Amino acid sequence: MAKYKPTHEDQMVMLPISLQDQLVPGTLEHTINRLVDENIDLSVFDTRYNNDETGAAAIHPKVLLKVILLGYAKGLISSRQIERACQENIIFIALSYGHAPDHSTIAAFVSSMQNEIASIFSDILTVCNELELLGGTHFSLDGVKLSANVSKEWSGTLDELKHKRDKLQEKLKRVMAEHAQAAGDCRASLCQYLRA
């Protein structure tokens, strides 16, 4: 008679995980984390949050910036996809400090602060591209692929770099608008479903 180890689906397993150890130096997620924490002025978001005396504590804008940018880099342009990644993917869990923002928080952040986000994202992507961190393949936004290698087209004068940054900003605005549109379509179809 065959003898097998017992299988118990209901058993508890505790795995000690250091979230910051998941962000390995030299990776895109580590660079996004460091740039947002150390090099980006986030004071532009402080005026948007008026919950110092009343209301619940908000998820910090740096958390939302990190997970949205990494989500876009991974091809996740839906708030629900990013929410799910923050619940299931250890890299997203580490970037969000375990807070796991919900899809409505993500969608509201993107739709209400598109100009601020686009400027920050284009700065971060420019640095990541210069460090060759956009992968060995491509970084895709709205169907437009940016070469991730250091090529002649990404070197040049400061004016040329500013022009490329502006083009990148336009592409980011388009993908954020698509993200906001998808969230609006989802809300409309949910309302129709609930009325039926």
Q: What residue segments make up the domains of the chain, in order of their start? A: 19-40+58-195
For residue 111, the tally of other CB atoms under 10 A from its CB is 17
Instruction: Report the distance separating Cα 96 and Cα 87, nearest Å.
Output: 10
What would the two tokens of residue 162 be? Answer: 């500013």
Residue identified by tokens 């908000």 is: 58
Instruction: Report the distance separating Cα 99 and Cα 109, nearest Å.
Output: 15
Rounded to 10 deg, the angle between the 28-38 and 114-130 helix axes is: 120
pLDDT in tens, the chain (196 residues): 888 888 888 888 788 888 889 899 888 888 889 888 888 888 888 777 777 777 778 888 899 999 998 998 888 888 999 999 999 999 999 999 998 899 999 988 888 877 777 777 777 777 766 776 665 434 444 333 444 444 444 445 556 666 777 777 777 777 777 777 776 665 555 445 445 4
Burial (0-12, 13-18, 19+ Cβ within 10 Å), 67? buried
Supply angle C-alpha 105, 70, 36, rounded to 5.
80
Q: Which pLDDT value is given to residue 82?
A: 94
What would the two tokens of residue 138 be? Answer: 């491509």
pTM, two decimal places: 0.65
Q: Which residues pair with 144 in a beta bridge?
A: 141
Q: What is the pLDDT of residues 80-137, one digit of tens each?
A: 999 999 999 999 999 999 988 999 999 888 888 777 777 777 777 777 667 766 654 3
